[in-house]
Amino acid sequence: LLVNADGESEPLHASMWDFGGQEVFYSAHVLFIHPKSIYIVVFSLKDWFESNIKHREELAFLEFWFKSIHTYAKGAPIIVVGTHLDALQVGTLEADLVQCGKEISAVARRVFGNKLSAIISTCPISFGSDPSRVPFSFFPVNVKGGHDTT
């Protein structure tokens, strides 16, 4: 629901596309990536911290998506979601997420340069108000919902 300046409500129409991340679909992405979209880039925190190889793969994945969005949808907001927060070690969770945020921020800065509007942290960041910068947020989330049945 969208409310206009006169206080009248209008329906808001939205489409969601799941690109799935498989390389076989990369060539089709250009058909769907548009600057008037909001991008949610999802990666696995579990894989990020599991091994050096998977860590590098996750960084490469994020860099690919940042470059694709930057190339075909300059200025579109990007929300980065790290899943499997519940799989991380509780004792080092905060330090791990701070380090993760710094590494994602470094990749984003390489791609977007000085056009990045927000520094990543381990809590949600609101979109920047400067239209010349890329709005950016990072959310670490749990995958499990409800009751654990195992």
What percentage of the chain carries pLDDT values higher than 70?
Answer: 70
Cα(16)–Cα(146) distance, integer angstroms: 25
pTM value is 0.72
The residue-averaged pLDDT of 15-36 equals 78
Q: Is the pLDDT of residue 130 over 60?
A: no
Interval 49-82: pLDDT, tens: 888 999 999 999 999 999 988 888 888 888 888 8
Cα(8)–Cα(78) distance, integer angstroms: 29
- The CA R_g of the chain, rounded to the nearest whole Å, is 17
Provide the b/e sequence for 11-38 (b: ≥16 CB within 10 Å): eeeeeeeeeeeeeeeeeebeeebeeebe
